[in-house]
Each structure stands twice: as C-alpha cells, then as structure tokens.
Amino acid sequence: MSENPKIRFGIIGCANIARKVARAINLAPNSTLYAIASRSMEKAHKFAANNGLSETVKIYGSYDQVLDDPCVDAVYMPLPTSLHLHWAVLAAHKKKHLLLEKPVALDVAQLDHILEACESNGVQFMTGSMWLHHPRTAKLKDLISDSKLFGPINYIHSSSTGPGTKEFLENNIRVKPDLDALGALGDLGWYCIEAALWAKDNQLPTTVTALPDVTKNSAGVILSFTASIQWEPLDHTVATIHCSFLSHTSMDLSISASNGTMRCNDYIIPYAENSASFEFTSGAKFAELHIGWSVSPEEVRVISQLPQEALMVQELSRLAEGIREFGYRPDRKWPDISRNTQLVLDAVKKSIDLGCKPVSL
C-alpha cells in the first residue's frame, strides 16, 4: 500500500461530523486530507484552524472548486440530505469517489440517480455508516451466522435515540423540512434499518408497518417513531426499531435465534474507540425450579487498531486504489446495502404517511 500514492480526499461542507471524518482520513494509512470546502472562505478557514489541519490542506470557498481540483481523488460529503442529489451526481461526473453521509437521499429515486452516476463513471460509492467497518461487527456476523451456536434468526430489535435540546429541536438541520425532511427516520432510522438488514444478510423484508406512536414537529418532520419489519412468509423473522430525538441516548441492537441471543448496547458508536464488546448467549435454559439460568452471557471483546471511521476511510481508499491501479470495477456491496436500506426507509415513511398501514415491498 505504501508504494502507491495515498488517496487524496476533499471534504465538501464543514458540518460537525466532518471534524471526525477529517481526523479519520489522516489516521487511515492509505489516505490523506487534501482539501476542504465551505460556501464561505471564512468558515472553511475557521474549520481548518479549529481542527489543527495542516497548512498544506487546500481551502476553498465553494464546493465546485473541490470537484474541479484534479488532485482530489475522493470526496466526503456531509451536506444536508436535500443537497445530496445535486452534489453527489456532480462529484461522480467529476470522477470523484464518493463517501456520502447518511441518510444518502430523500428517497430511492434520488439514490438511484446517484448510484447510476457513480456506476457510469466508474467511481466507488459508500455511505458513511462507520459501525459496519468495526472489527466487532465482523465478529458479530461470524457468531450469528453459526447454525449450531445461534441458529435461524427470529427476532431483531434496534434503537437509536438521543435527548434533543430545545436548541436542537428548534434549529438543527435535522428538524428542518427544507434541509433534512426525513428527521429522526433518516438520521437515526438509517442505522436501525441497516442493522436489521445486516443481520439478515441484506435480504429485503416483505412488509413494513409504522406503529401509531409517531411524533412530528409543527413543520411535519418526524421526531420519534417505532416500526415493525417482517420477512414473513419467507422465514418468520420480525424486527422492531425505535428512533427518537426525545429520549435518553441509546444505540441498542439485540438479535434472538433458535439457540442463541446477542446483545450490544453501543453498536453505532462504541463506548471506547480502541475496543468494543457485546454479550452472547448460546443454549441457555432455566435451572431446576427456575431459580436461575444454566449459563450466563459471555462478554466478547474485540480490539480495534484504528477507530471505526478510519477503517471506513481505509476501505473506501483501498477500493479507490484498486480502481486506479488495476482497473477494477467499483464494489457493488456498498451501493446494494445503501439501496436496500433506503427502500425500507421509504416504506416506513409511506406507512407513516398512510396512517401506519402496512406497506409491502
């Protein structure tokens, strides 16, 4: 990897999450932060100063300048969702590999335009779902895929919640219909839907139903919701997800199967960036007289040499390098994960819009 030039990233938009990804780009061994852009030079310079960026990083006062820079290989785009279609398609046409913050689009029709642009221009697409790249996630997949230890999955539950402050609920872009119209469904629901699909090897469900506990703000943006996701009659798996800007912080994922249970309380952002754990139980039964259990949950701890966001950047850079050096085609895995997530997200929204009626996929 060191024999080849690092993948040079540009960041389009100086959102708060860009601070984390800027650090990740410089931590990954095969990438470097080359340029940042904001709609104003003042904001771009302030971002560079506040985050201790190298003086060699190019600073631009428009998004177009990053895309027009021939030295930029890939772009990270943490813009409001309403801006994704325009700038993501333009980035692909400029032959820039694309790391697009979630939610990636307002609906699957928009996402299809983005994916088609990436495919036709031979650039790699990836959503900024960092948790998928943590080594814990791979270990989880190994265990829940073990037919003897775990067995067929029958129930999945995931939550992603956070206590929105008065300032957040009034002014954050996630509650503004012209910026991020999907609200908690897009910002938090993306993770929960993605996790349920991940557990099912990205297999689309058959039916999605929102529960009638939906809370919206005065502009109609979703602040809190719950939904059920069913794979019946294929294999009788059911998932429930709950997402809210109105509850205490949670990032839970639990999966139950015929012979095992897995629980993880920090699956989106680990409690610590250098290690992460989960609980795994297999073959549990009640003790005699039901005064206890036959086994206790096993804590499985996984060490990570790099933060999950740096591993995400490293993976995109590896794929970009393969395209550049060996003429490989972009990896379809990541667009497929994103498209199925968007399809289910769209179904949840449709169910909410229909008064919580079931929606078939």
Domains and CATH numbers, the chain: 7-129 (3.40.50.720), 132-307+342-360 (3.30.360.10)
Please give the average per-residue pLDDT across 148-173, as a whole number: 96
Average pLDDT, the chain: 96
In this prediction, residue 235 carries a pLDDT of 84
Please give the average per-residue pLDDT across 338-345, as a whole number: 98
In this prediction, residue 66 carries a pLDDT of 97
Please give the average per-residue pLDDT across 297-315, as a whole number: 97
Of the candidates 11, 8, 62, 12, the one whose C-alpha atom is nearest the C-alpha of residue 34 is 8
Residues contacting residue 10 through CB under 8 Å, at least 6 positions apart: 34, 35, 36, 37, 58, 66, 67, 69, 72, 74, 75, 76, 96
- The yes-or-no verdict on residue 4 having pLDDT over 80 is no
Query: Residue type for 276, please?
Result: A
CA distances from 140 to 89, 192, 215, 313, 315 (A): 34, 16, 33, 21, 19
Please give the average per-residue pLDDT across 248-266, as a whole number: 97
Please give the average per-residue pLDDT across 10-20, as a whole number: 96
- The yes-or-no verdict on residue 1 having pLDDT over 90 is no
CB-CB contact of 179 with 81 (8 Å): yes
Please give the average per-residue pLDDT across 111-131, as a whole number: 98
- The tens digit of pLDDT for each residue in 183-221 reads 999 999 999 999 999 999 999 999 999 999 999 999 999
In this prediction, residue 2 carries a pLDDT of 47
In this prediction, residue 233 carries a pLDDT of 79
Tokens describing residue 175? 């509650």
Of the candidates 87, 85, 86, the one whose C-alpha atom is nearest the C-alpha of residue 11 is 87
For residue 197, the number of C-alpha atoms closer than 13 Å in the C-beta half-sphere is: 24
Q: 272-280 contacts: CB < 8 A, separation 24 or more?
A: 273/304, 273/307, 273/308, 274/303, 274/304, 274/305, 274/307, 275/301, 275/302, 275/303, 275/304, 276/134, 276/136, 276/301, 276/302, 276/304, 277/136, 277/301, 277/302, 278/136, 278/140, 280/143
Predicted TM-score of the model (pTM): 0.96
Please give the average per-residue pLDDT across 14-40, as a whole number: 97
Ramachandran region, residue 52 (left: φ > 0; alpha: ψ -120 to 50; beta: rest): left
- The yes-or-no verdict on residue 249 having pLDDT over 70 is yes
Of the candidates 284, 232, 223, the one whose C-alpha atom is nearest the C-alpha of residue 256 is 284
Please give the average per-residue pLDDT across 307-313, as a whole number: 98
Q: How confident is the model at residue 3 (pLDDT cuts 50, 70, 90)?
A: low
CA distances from 90 to 72, 81, 94, 251 (A): 14, 15, 6, 34
Instruction: Write down the residue that tokens 């697009």 correspond to.
Output: 100
Q: Percent of the chain, pLDDT > 90?
A: 98
Tokens describing residue 106? 């307002």
- The yes-or-no verdict on residue 121 having pLDDT over 70 is yes
Please give the average per-residue pLDDT across 212-239, as a whole number: 94
In this prediction, residue 276 carries a pLDDT of 98
What backbone torsions phi and psi does residue 139 show, to the nearest 5 degrees?
A: -65, -40
Q: How confident is the model at residue 344 (pLDDT cuts 50, 70, 90)?
A: very high
Q: Which helix (H) or strand (E) holds 261?
A: strand 260-264
